[in-house]
Amino acid sequence: MVIYLDHNATTPIAPEVVAVIRPYLERQFGNPSSAHAYGTAASAAVDRARAQVAGLLGAEPDTVTFTGSGSEADTLAIIGVALARLGDRDHVVRSAVEHPAVVAACRYLERRFSFRVTVVPVDAYGLVDPDDVRRALEPGTALVSVMHANNEVGTIQPIAEVAAVAREHGVLVHTDAAQSVGKVRVDVDELGVDLLTVVGHKMYAPKGIGALYVRPATRIDSVIHGAGHEHGLRAGTENVPYIAGLGAAATLGARRLAAGAHLDMQRLRDRLHAALPDVSLNGHPERRLPNTLNVSFPGVDGEALLARTPAIAAATGSACHSGRTEPSAVLVAMGFDERRAHGAVRLSLGYDTTAAEVDAAAAALTDALVPA
């Protein structure tokens, strides 16, 4: 059996979530916009899920807009704000370690609307300095986008401090919280953000569903046009089964956090780290997701190491382009040389990961380091 340690890529759908989804795939198939009984049942499911997601974020239900993915939510946040301020503000600030969806949206604004984009650096732990954000702000800045927690190294950014800086200058703040929601406490008021991205398949819901929190009175344009679904921000008949599933996953996440299950996961992560010989930790030792362990094995290529351990499903941050393996852009932004970046392996645990699996994974990786 393969040990799954790639939960930052995607999570399995929780049984509790499957149970909630099933009726909306079978019997309760109505269109939420229909006035008859089938439609009202579907509409009630969407409303319930909206309240569940909002509850996990410490928000009001009408601030949650459902999307088809996290990438769509990021696009709606960044391009939606930019379009709303077109002709007024033409500058965006992002960090050097953002998700490709954020990077691509910023590049689109540069190419299509001549926006200017400032990329704020990170330190050796992957942390943004709020003072760097302050220095990057201009009178024409429309938005700052800094992810809450990095998908590769797990570093949790000082979003509340970044938001406070932006607020002093009347600038909106977006954070991609795909990796943090359900793993650590995420409260939109405590963070002080105006927009926040949620991704279903990172929190035990299906792929193909996400959400965007939009603080009341935030000016944002739709990027998918049609009828007035989702507060007029996202046209298209709602994906009721997956929306219901995301709501169930939000409730499950809140329950796990309240029970301290994320702390149990953190203990297993640290147990795995302690069992690995002579590795360098990538990311902050404390300000980090409880499930994420990114380490570099000295003198070892991460991809080759994982290829020698087929009993483990894990990831590296490297990408292959035209036959050449490129080092992780995140690790490069953190100042690591190619040797350390190429040696990195990301091991991301889930709520269902066991101590036996952690011990077996550590043993398999250690054995793979020894030449045959």
Active-site positions? Answer: 320
Q: Single out the residue of 132, 174, 127 nearest to residue 150, CA to CA.
A: 127
d(CA 275, CA 297): 13
Cα 333 to Cα 101, 107, 124, 282, 330, distances in angstroms: 17, 18, 8, 12, 5
d(CA 71, CA 318): 20
d(CA 215, CA 81): 12
d(CA 168, CA 134): 9
Is the CB of residue 109 less than 8 Å from the CB of residue 247?
Answer: no
d(CA 303, CA 174): 33
How many Cβ atoms from other residues are within 10 Å of residue 252's Cβ? 23
The H or E element containing residue 196 is: strand 195-199
Is the CB of residue 361 less than 8 Å from the CB of residue 4?
Answer: no
d(CA 342, CA 336): 10
Is the CB of residue 187 less than 8 Å from the CB of residue 58?
Answer: yes
Radius of gyration of the chain, Cα coordinates, nearest whole angstrom: 21
Q: Report DSSP state, residue 8.
A: T
Alpha helices, DSSP H, located in the chain: 15-26, 37-57, 70-84, 100-113, 130-136, 159-168, 188-191, 240-259, 261-275, 302-307, 329-333, 338-342, 355-369
